Amino acid sequence: MTNTDHPIALYGFLRPRPERKDEVRRILSSFVEPTRREPGNLQYHLHEHEDGRFFLYEVWRSQEDLDRHNATPPLRAFLENLSTFLEEAPEGYFDTMLSPYPDTEPAPA
């Protein structure tokens, strides 16, 4: 269950097809810095697990910010062809954060 009063966390594993692993790594890595610059992005991390899966962890200020991110052309192109890149459906979770998120505004001088 999500609401817009709290940040939204999205996280999960992607298991690439062996023959496309390097390509998936390159594509996912290319999303990191542009995504971190998007309005409303609080965190965006990509990890490679020892078993070959990729783990993504994202935190967004609001559902609207996440929706805007999900509509970006590079991400849409990847998601529309996901089954060609992955061995199985992603294992993903989408939750409202209950713990307070640190203030992202600079402290007053």
Query: What is 8-96's CATH topology?
Result: Alpha-Beta Plaits (3.30.70)
Order the strands of the 8-14 sheet from edge to edge.
41-48, 54-60, 8-14, 91-96
Residue 5: per-residue pLDDT: 65
Percent of the chain with pLDDT over 90: 78
What is residue 51's three-state secondary structure?
coil
Average pLDDT, stretch 26-44?
Answer: 96
Give the torsion sign (CA, 75, 81, 82, 84): negative
Q: Name the pLDDT band for 106 (thresholds 50, 70, 90).
A: very low
- Quick one: which H or E segment has residue 94? strand 91-96
Give this prediction's pTM. 0.83
The overall average pLDDT reported for the chain is: 89
Residue-wise pLDDT for 47-98, tens only, equals 999 999 999 999 999 999 999 999 999 999 999 999 999 999 999 998 887 7
